[in-house]
Structure 1
Amino acid sequence: MMAHSPMTNLLIDIYNGVRKLGIPTFQKLPDADEPEPFIVLGTHFDDDLPSGKFGKSVQITDLQIDMYYPIDSRVALEDEIYQVTQVIKQSTKRATRVTSNTSQDDSIGRDVYHVVFIVTAYM
């Protein structure tokens, strides 16, 4: 049996961690009738720029995770952002940084909070 790639392992670890919060988690944007909150494990950007310390042996990945949340409570949203960030950090030792950006969004057909998490990880 072939071992998973480091990126696959990162996705599995984060997926399993976030699911523990009870938030539906998807690999692509779900149908429009899916109620908020939900999370989408999104795209990633890889960088294998040589470092002075490690040469080309280290690859840095930025994984985007999108959370869509009901617009009715900013306080509840901030608590959820904190919980998701903590679960991501605890689910993998590869993550070195988790950033988030919150905005209001209507791209899914209704007004929601859209939180974009960027997880930086060493592969």
Structure 2
Amino acid sequence: MRKFLLLAISQLLFISTVNASTYIWSSAIPTQVHIVPEGLLLIGDFENAGVNCAGAITQAAILLPKSDPGFEHKLSLALTANAAGKTIETLVYTEASSDCIQISASGYVPKAHYYYWRLKN
């Protein structure tokens, strides 16, 4: 029983390490907030260095897709962050360039994860 428990714990640690490595936290105070056909574009000093499409990124920005179930709430948080000079923090995917989208004026931008979108003080 003890071996089984140790094996289960080691597998959970491995899985969480693998999953954690596919995302990075990116945060910044948004300097611009734009509604674009693809969703909400936040421009700011976002750290996207670990993102697969980073070589194609022309502006430090992230995109919240309009298909996000909490889009309106997150839009409100983004506008609050922009007006109050507060930080938005989200997860962005690092592994696949398919999680980057081309925005005409901003080049390629990584998409924000649906579940993690925080307003920090």
Q: Same fold (TM over 0.5)?
A: no
Q: What is the TM-score of this pair, normalised by structure 2? A: 0.24
Q: TM-score normalized by structure 1?
A: 0.24
From the two aligned structures, give the one with the greater helix fraction: 2
Structure number, greater radius of gyration: 2
